[in-house]
Amino acid sequence: MANNMYAYNDYNGPGIEEKDQPALEESDDENPLQIGMWLEGDSLAPPCGSTLSLITQLLDLAFNDIHNCDLNNDKNVIFYDLGCGDGRVCLEAYWNFVHSNKSKGKIECVGVEIEEDLVERFQFLIDQLPKNAAILPISEKGEKYGSGTFNSASCIHAVHGDLCELLDYLLKRQKDTVKDNDGIDINASSETVKYPDEKSRFSNLPIPNIITMYLIPEAIKLIEPQLVQMLKLFPNLRIVCNTWGLKGVEAFRTIDCLDEKTGSDTKLFLYCNDCLKP
């Protein structure tokens, strides 16, 4: 698998400690971007992936209990990462969820990325995961949670596309669904929320109940109106922003994190429907 120029050279899949992650081959580019450098052009995300230390804290915040609605308990989780890079957040979310002793529900992860080589890398990492493996977690009493096995091929989706177009599509789809089906459970399993619109590349994607993102401030400002609308339409939706938050909405919770790899302090912002109440 060829390397890319975006400094995504420090991750080779879930379940591997960061210190054990073998580096990819060096880029052929004379001046490859390194962590901390900025990407010129139209990219909406920083040109590097989060460390495992920060991802762990981000996922803890995304999955923690809010008003007794614990998605680690028995809910089906539909997890999106916007500007996902090589998919490391989705892969770690999937891996940690299915190996958690509290995971009674199922998880489906969607990573959306505009850079084609990063999507290819993400798909490569998905393909390395076990298929139809008996990896359901076991409780302290020795009981297996869930029913059947997780098929990683169907649980994780690497989507090549523009996240602004995706958000527009999800909003239109949910407005149509609410209008046609008053009282629909928008946090139901993905099988019940598919939208048979053959014209869209996003038609088979499920409705999210967790969204994470590591985007530059200009990008967050661009999509903030869409995110606010989603919080209104999806009552149980949680949005977690890495480093930069929404400007027009007060966060439900803000956490100061220490990145163990870089030693830097980073903020994580959690938003939910309660943030919109006066």
Model confidence, pTM: 0.79
pLDDT tens track for 54-110: 999 999 999 886 655 555 555 788 999 999 999 999 999 998 887 775 556 788 999
pLDDT tens track for 147-178: 445 667 678 999 999 999 999 999 988 887 76
Average pLDDT, the chain: 75
pLDDT of residue 198 exceeding 60: no
21 pLDDT band, cuts 50/70/90, is low
Quote the pLDDT of residue 72. Answer: 54
Quote the pLDDT of residue 209. Answer: 92
186's tokens: 């928008």
Residue 262 lies in a domain: yes
Residue 114 lies in a domain: yes
pLDDT tens track for 247-273: 999 999 999 998 877 788 899 999 999
Residue 184 lies in a domain: yes
pLDDT tens track for 120-130: 999 999 998 87
22 pLDDT band, cuts 50/70/90, is low
Residue 14 lies in a domain: no
Say if residues 108 and 30 touch (Cβ distance below 8 Å).
no
Between residues 20 and 26, the one the model is more confident about: 20
CATH number at residue 174: 3.40.50.150
Q: Which range of residues forms the domain containing residue 69?
A: 48-276
Total domains in the chain come to: 1
Q: What is the DSSP string of 96-107?
A: HHHT-TT--S-E
Residue 26 lies in a domain: no
**What is the C-alpha to C-alpha distance for residues 203 and 1, in angstroms, rounded to an integer?**
29
Residue 124 lies in a domain: yes
Quote the pLDDT of residue 8. Answer: 73
Residue 10 lies in a domain: no
Give percent of the chain above pLDDT 90.
Answer: 37
26 pLDDT band, cuts 50/70/90, is very low
Residue 85 lies in a domain: yes
